[in-house]
Amino acid sequence: MPPASVTPASTRSAVFRLAELIQESDCTVALTGAGISVPSGIPDFRTPGTGIWENVDPIEVAHIDAFRRDPVRFWSFYRPRLHSLGGIEPNPAHHALAELERRGLLAGVITQNIDMLHTKAGSEAVVEVHGSIRSASCQACDSRYELAAMDSLFDEEGVAVCAACTSLVKPDVVLFGEHLRAEEMAHAEALAARADLLLCVGSSLEVYPVAGLPSLTMARGGAVAILTQGPTPYDGDARVRLDGDVARELPGVVDALH
Provide the annotated active-site residues: 130
Rounded to the nearest 5 degrees, what angle is found at the Cα of 79, between the Cα atoms of 81 and 33?
A: 30
Q: What's the rounded Cα separation, in Å, for the pair 184 and 182?
A: 6
Rounded to the nearest 5 degrees, what angle is found at the Cα of 52, between the Cα atoms of 47 and 54?
A: 65
Calculate helix-pair angle for 246-256, 9-24, nearest 10 degrees. 60
Which residues, 6+ apart, have CB-to-CB distance to 91 below 8 Å? Answer: 36, 37, 39, 40, 117, 247
Q: What's the rounded Cα separation, in Å, for the pair 164 and 134?
A: 19
Kindly list the distances between the CA atom of residue 16 and the CA atoms of 4, 105, 160, 175, in Å, as whole numbers in the listed order. Answer: 20, 15, 49, 38
Kindly list the distances between the CA atom of residue 130 and the CA atoms of 10, 14, 48, 181, in Å, as whole numbers in the listed order. Answer: 35, 30, 23, 8
Q: Compute how many other C-beta atoms are within 10 angstroms of the C-beta atom of residue 168.
A: 19
Query: Which of 240, 217, 257 is CA-nearest to residue 99?
Result: 257
